[in-house]
Amino acid sequence: LDIWVYQLGWADGPYPPTHWETLHWLQDMGFRVNPEIGRYDGLEGVERHYHQWADRRHDLEYEIDGLVVKADPFQHYERLGVVGREPRWATAYKFPPIQATTKLLGIEINIGRTGTLNPYAVLEPVQVGGVTVSKATLHNEEDIRRKDVRVGDTVIVQRAGDVIPQVVGPVVSKRTGRVKVFVMPDRCPVCGTPVVRPEGEVMRYCPNPACPAQAFRWLTHFVSRGAMDIEGLGESWCYVLLEQGLVKNPADIYSLTKEQLVGLERMGEKSAENLLSAIEASKDRPLGRLIFALGIRHVGSEIAVLLASQFGSIDALARASVEELAAIPTVGPRIAESVHQYFRDASNLGVIEKLRRAGVRMAEEIAAAPPEGPLAGLRFVITGSLASMPRSKAEEFIRQLGGSASDSVTKKTDYVVVGESPGSKLRKAQQYGTRLLSEQEFLELLRQHGAI
DNA sequence: TCGTGTCTGCTTAGGAGCGT
DNA sequence: ACGCTCCTAAGCAGACACGA
């Protein structure tokens, strides 16, 4: 009997490790497995019904041309010798990260939204775990020093959590005399301003707020999903708008006209209309989103929502003193100072004025203390992907019911929701003995409390 | 109609630094 | 000391629109 195993989303290259195991496993059971046919391309009439092993004792079930193949993942993983703490049905298996060696061609610098100089490795493209890796972050100069990687080195590359490319370190035995120690630049590679490294901090900053790189990062941050969420405006268009001088700061987006947009290369009527309506729609985002979008240092999505709920308007926030700010729980002196400073800067105030004139919502009712939901006081963490909804949606539901959703597992975490291909959070949860929830159980929980 | 460019959606690691 | 948030990073398929 021939079995074709079909996995969505992997058109090329090797299968994810768990999938590989499944192939072998089916083989062991006496099926002839044809992994080559199992590619995403060109497969017709093969449907995948793939119940996750995270579901308690649920069968793994493949339907192939009307033939249903069932198997028990519990036994499968047990046979592999991969048995974690209870409940064992949630144990997933991953190979250790697959590594490869390649050449470090150079180290280049990105400028972050806050002006940080972020070095990254430019690598000779290499296949690692099924994808081509050509770049990887090096975090900062200390990290480069710790790893002691030099330009020209042969380096080991892996995919952390099987996803993110990472430089592990050099293969010192392969080092030739021609390697070069990397030196962080003294000047911003984009605007040439001498960089500063505040005492006690590890990152170097470009102190020029008008640096084009920072303007670009601010703009992309402003329009991003978590902030004002302007659909259709990605990095490329941000770049074009800045380069053409149509936009100098985020507030200028709101005075773009159709004529201006249509004049751009590869921007037609349709795109221009879509973009303008997306911009229009963004005027009504919740206050927290706007505060986040302003890009104040130390104010991310969480603190922004907190500030919105405390002050209720941009004006009230702008008037707040350092003491008032620091009096808020979880806001300390650094954050308070950062916020206060932001609203003392003339150009920032100019942007805010312009946003106001454009009709961007600047205030909202201060919500009464959030009603105590059924999940009040419970901390959730999600790992892996959920089939039924994006992670952000799941987190929204959790908050709606009064729970909190964070992204690192600690001893205080109450539940870890395990989706498909979970990462290291699952390991950590097992280590702490944190209660695990399969996607089905999670959905059941939401249903119980009427969230869905 | 079709090749090409752009954006979206979806994932996780981990250093740094803040708050308590 | 510990927990949490901020911030950035890479990759790829697929949807959609442009423009010839």
Distance of A266 CA from B3 C1′ (whole Å): 14
Contact, A261 CB vs strand B, < 7 Å: no
Q: Which of A153-157, A320-324, A390-394 has the lowest mean pLDDT?
A: A390-394
In this model, does residue A407 exceed pLDDT 80? no
- Name the CA dihedral angle for A415, A417, A421, A426, rounded to a multiple of 10 degrees: 0
- Residue A356 pLDDT level (bands cut at 50, 70, 90): very high
Report domain extents, chain A: 2-90, 96-208, 212-284, 287-358, 379-448
The architecture in CATH of the region A379-448 reads 3-Layer(aba) Sandwich (3.40)
Which among A68, A20, A77, A19 is positioned nearest to A48, based on CA atoms?
A68
Question: Which nucleotide lies at the shortest CA–C1' distance from A267?
Answer: C18
Residue A148's identity, in one-letter code, is: D
Work out the average pLDDT over A33-61. Answer: 30
Identify the CATH number of the domain defined by range A287-358.
1.10.150.20
Question: Which nucleotide lies at the shortest CA–C1' distance from A146?
Answer: B15
Contact, A334 CB vs strand B, < 7 Å: yes
C-alpha span between A211 and A208 (Å, rounded): 5
Q: Which of A64-68, A305-309, A335-339 has the lowest mean pLDDT?
A: A64-68
According to the model, what pLDDT value does residue A353 have? 93
Distance of A276 CA from B9 C1′ (whole Å): 22
Work out the average pLDDT over A428-449. Answer: 77
According to the model, what pLDDT value does residue A231 have? 77
A273-301 residue pLDDT tens:
888 888 888 888 888 888 888 888 888 87
A215-250 residue pLDDT tens:
888 888 888 877 888 877 877 788 888 888 888 888
Q: Are strands A32-33 and A2-3 parallel, antiparallel or unpaired?
A: parallel
Angle between helices A212-223 and A235-243 (to 10 degrees): 130
Handedness of CA A187, A188, A192, A196 (dihedral sign): negative
Same fold, A212-284 and A287-358: yes
| Cα A205–Cα A209–Cα A214 angle in degrees, nearest 5 | 75
A48-100 residue pLDDT tens:
222 222 222 223 344 333 333 343 333 333 333 333 222 222 222 223 346 77
Distance of A10 CA from C12 C1′ (whole Å): 9
* A12 three-state secondary structure: coil
The architecture in CATH of the region A96-208 reads Beta Barrel (2.40)
Output the furthest CA–CA distance in chain A (Å, rounded): 74
Q: Which fold has domain A212-284?
A: DNA polymerase; domain 1 (1.10.150)
C-alpha span between A6 and A10 (Å, rounded): 9
Out of A180-194, A307-321, A322-336, A372-386, the most confident range is A307-321
Q: What average pLDDT does the structure give for chain A?
A: 70
A162-179 residue pLDDT tens:
567 788 888 888 888 788
Distance of A60 CA from B1 C1′ (whole Å): 43
Q: Which residue has the higher pLDDT, A231 or A377?
A: A231
Distance of A271 CA from C16 C1′ (whole Å): 10
C-alpha span between A307 and A56 (Å, rounded): 42
Task: Look at the block and give the residue holding tokens 């990472």.
Answer: A166
Query: Which nucleotides of strand B come closer than 7 angstroms to any CB of the protein?
Result: 5-20
Is the peptide bond preceding residue A422 cis, with omega within 30 degrees of 0? no
